[in-house]
Structure 1
């Protein structure tokens, strides 16, 4: 009789009592047979830890001494967690009882699958895909991220159109299944990111290391989204722009880096001017600050010392759209993933 891989669901919490009250019951109803649930607290100042201690004594609590964001918080907490598979679960996610089993089964069929995500639907509208991951993360040739079921701010209704398992570029950090050995092999998240894009960077590095990232449609979770920073928040915009630039500098093949980043610079200037024209000067300032801090980061970042992974051309990876997504979206009005030409889509076959 085969032994079930050990799974640790690790929920990173920062002042999230209202979400824990609402969603911990669904997590505790999980039916997987070799499971531990852990609350990793990022120096909360509310009474969320006391609430869990009182009402869920079976949940282990790992306390981080300070709030180092999503990336640093998980890096610190996971040093204290032993399991074959980590499940990094946002505090604002509701799960189905059998949500773990199909993902673990998929990962067990191929040891090269380092990370996997379930289907993400919106908690506020459970028929619709959710922004943060939908049916799997993709990226275009200029580093713009999107999902099967969500392009920019347009989300699709789930009619089963993406119910095929598939290799993807990145798996959502809202419900990320990842082999612990793979996580530590590539040194986990980049703590410089603090929050946003860190899971994309991690999955990119995993692909460079020769692993697969997959989407499992047989597992379903519901995500509230915007629990820490809502859409439209200048701080969120700043982190997304800065971290995307850092990610591109780190991971692009040296032959492609300057070509891609120069094109991004031009398009980001247009985005800043668009924000100003729309009466959102704070958004324009956020983009400008992102570039200033990215350049500061780049001066101190030593790629040779910090990154030992092989260079791999972006076009050779799974989940990459061989075109410019924002051109298709704004000028050709391609608002659905199915309307994009994605000849390089690779169905996950087991």
Structure 2
């Protein structure tokens, strides 16, 4: 009998933000129904989509409920609303474009119960598109766990400049990671509340990295659980290279740096990033299709970052009050630069 089979099964609430893709959600719910975990409930957060068929769909799944919002609050706002409607000691934040191995949740909970110092855990996330072709390939957005270089560029185990790796078991040892993917992450309720949950202003993209960074500052660990497997469609909300995706990634990344870095690190890192952002804009411009829109998205992100500095500084003061670890300790096992290691930013 494995450790996952022998654990007491605490209640888990699975929170799924959803917006106008009912077929995708139905596939996710059908997969979750096969989960071998006895104490799981599901909260679907309708982000202002207003599809009248949604309530009827949810009613077909015992243990599932619907929380309807009057407007689209994005991933971060939808998840926060779902969290406030939940009661379990453990919550899973999950994209609706996922399917799941039947033991995925049991493995995550087992790891969380065994080590109380862990605040968030991520399964191994594989590509759903490649899975349909009979191949085990890591998902671009989650892989086998996320890391962050010293300039704030994120990357994943299982992803490089040369493409996404095939899963051959090379990352099957559980490890500490910097961030867990929002495609599927289990979080301890008390830790999530302690650091203030997701930042609503992020709307989508980078919010899980920002959350995990605050959990690390507060002294917790983030962990990969490769024995838990989830498949992710990827790019279902916004296609890779979409201008709005570029905008959110760049704006939110700069906000995240400004909030979470200590002052000694913040000045050189943010200065370097502000020099690198125009270079990123030129990169998008040279990509051809949608290049001009991507170029403009970077400068919109820079503009809105500066406009929002007052709010960011207010959040920064609260976050730095959580600090139990230095930047040096947090980044000790992170690469200096993904551009030197061959890893690729999201």
Scaled by the length of structure 1, the TM-score of the pair is 0.90
Q: 2:220 aligns with which of 196, 211, 218?
A: 211
Query: Is 1:22 matched up with 2:27?
Result: yes
Q: Counterparts in 2 of 1:63-102, with a 5 A limit? A: 63-102=68-107
Match of 1:159 in 2: 168
Correspondence list, 1:1-350, <5 A: 3-56=8-61, 58-126=63-131, 127-151=136-160, 154-279=163-288, 280-301=291-312, 302-303=314-315, 305-307=317-319, 308-310=321-323, 312-317=325-330, 320-329=333-342
SS of the residue corresponding to residue 287 of structure 1 reads helix
- Structure 1 residue matching 2:297: 3-state secondary structure: helix
Q: From the superposition, tell whether residues 250 and 56 of structure 1 become closer, same or farther in structure 2 (CA, over 3 Å).
A: same
C-alpha displacement at 1:143, in angstroms? Answer: 0.5
Bigger mean CA deviation after superposition, 313-322 or 159-168: 313-322
Query: Compared with structure 1, are the counterparts of its residues 136 and 304 closer, same or farther at alpha carbon in structure 2 (3 Å cutoff)?
Result: closer
1:109 Cα shift? 1.1
Question: Aligned partners of 2:205 and 2:112: how far apart in 1?
Answer: 25
Three-state SS of the structure 2 residue aligned to 1:104 is: helix
Deviations 1:128-187 (CA, angstroms, capped at 9, x unpaired): 000111000001010000000013682100011000000000000010100111111111
> 316-325 or 60-69: which moved more?
316-325
Retained in 2: the 8 A contact 1:137–1:319?
A: no
Alpha-carbon distance, 1:51 to partner: 3.8
- The TM-score normalised by the length of structure 2 is 0.91
Name the counterpart of 1:345. none
Bigger shift: 56-65 or 17-26? Answer: 56-65
Between 1:242-251 and 1:69-78, the stretch displaced more is 69-78
Cα distance between partner residues in 1 of 2:239 and 2:316: 36
C-alpha contact (below 8 Å) 1:167/1:319 kept by paired residues = no
Superposition deviation, residue 274 in structure 1:
2.2
SS in 2 for 1:158: coil
Output the CA distance in 1 between the equivalents of 2:277 and 2:22.
Answer: 37
Q: Aligned partners of 2:316, 2:281: CA distance in 1, in Å?
A: 32
**How far 1:67 moved relative to its partner?**
1.2
Distance (whole Å) between structure 2 residues aligned to residue 278 and residue 40 of structure 1 = 36
The alpha carbon displacement at 1:2 in A equals 7.2
Shift of 1:57: 5.0
Contact persistence 1:163–1:217 (CA under 8 A): yes
Alpha-carbon distance in structure 1 between the residues aligned to 2:53 and 2:167: 34
Distance in 2 (CA, whole Å) between partners of 1:206 and 1:218 is 23
Coordinate RMSD, CA, aligned: 2.0
In the TM superposition, what is the alpha-carbon distance from 1:312 to its structure 2 partner? 3.8
Deviation at 1:92, TM superposition (A): 0.5
Give the whole-Å Cα distance in 2 for the aligned partners of 1:66 and 1:139: 32
Distance 1:266 1:30, change over 3 A: same
SS at match of 2:108: helix
CA deviations 1:224-279 (Å, max 9, x no partner) are: 01111110100000000000000000001110101001111222211112222333
Q: Aligned pair count?
A: 332
Q: Which consecutive residues of structure 1, in runs of 5 or more, have no partner in the other structure?
A: 336-350
Which deviates more, 274-283 or 43-52? 43-52
